[in-house]
Amino acid sequence: MPHLVAPSLLSADFLNLRKDVEMVNNSLADWFHVDVMDGHFVPNISFGFSIISQIKSVATKPLDVHLMIDQPDRYIADFAKSGADHLTVHYETCTHLHRTLAVIRQHGMKAGVVINPHNPVSLLRDIVADADIVLIMSVNPGFGGQKFITGALRRITELKELLIQQNSKALIEVDGGVGLENAPLLLEAGADVLVAGSTVFQSADPTQTIMQLKNIKV
């Protein structure tokens, strides 16, 4: 399967958000990546339900919603109503992760789990068969524009091997410091989905940058 590209709206121009959403609609991008932060799990605050609903009203591609929040179980139904197509939750935030993923699916969304740079991939051994997406953070979560943590390459390879061992069909998504320089290495390691924020929205021609990311061959 060809790899997917998911521009992160955290790096979009909030004063011209509709314009940036329509740019992604008309590009070769596959998903919109939407980061939700609560100021508790990470030291930043971002999109809420109202903004997601408004993005959904314009978007023609799936909303890949990444929850960087405490107690995500409390809000699963609300994110479904707001228009999320995928919902990914951090490993640390779920006391009963298997149940959380099941509830996400019951609400008609694809279910994903996220691991931070300090988490060993082995933590996911008993849950990857129940996930649609596994998101590897290649920066510490909370802010866009951070430097890529190179250890993510090894962790992607380890995760790919684990998915094969567990007969899991989950997609491997990578978020943080993804650019044109390291994208080929990420794909070679086994990534299926590239999340790119600053690389896309701070480029001179975002549509062209998305096309370059999409057309990488490995």
Nearest C-alpha neighbor of 6 from the set 191, 139, 159: 191
How far is Cα 199 from Cα 182, in angstroms, rounded to an integer? 11
How far is Cα 169 from Cα 109, in angstroms, rounded to an integer? 16
Is 13 tagged catalytic?
no
Helices 206-214 and 17-25, packing angle to 10 deg = 40
- Residue 145 half-sphere exposure, CB side, CA atoms within 13 Å? 6
Catalytic residue among 30, 35, 64, 85: 35
The tokens describing 75, both together, are 């809000």
Residues 6+ apart with CB under 8 A from 111: 86, 87, 88, 100, 101, 102, 104, 105, 130, 131, 132, 133
Question: Tokens 């590009």 sit at which residue?
Answer: 27
Is 20 tagged catalytic?
no
Catalytic residue among 64, 85, 132, 175: 175
Q: Which segments within 47-130 are labelled E, that is strand?
A: 63-68, 86-90, 110-115
How far is Cα 6 from Cα 32, in angstroms, rounded to an integer? 5
Task: Cite the active site residues.
Answer: 35, 175
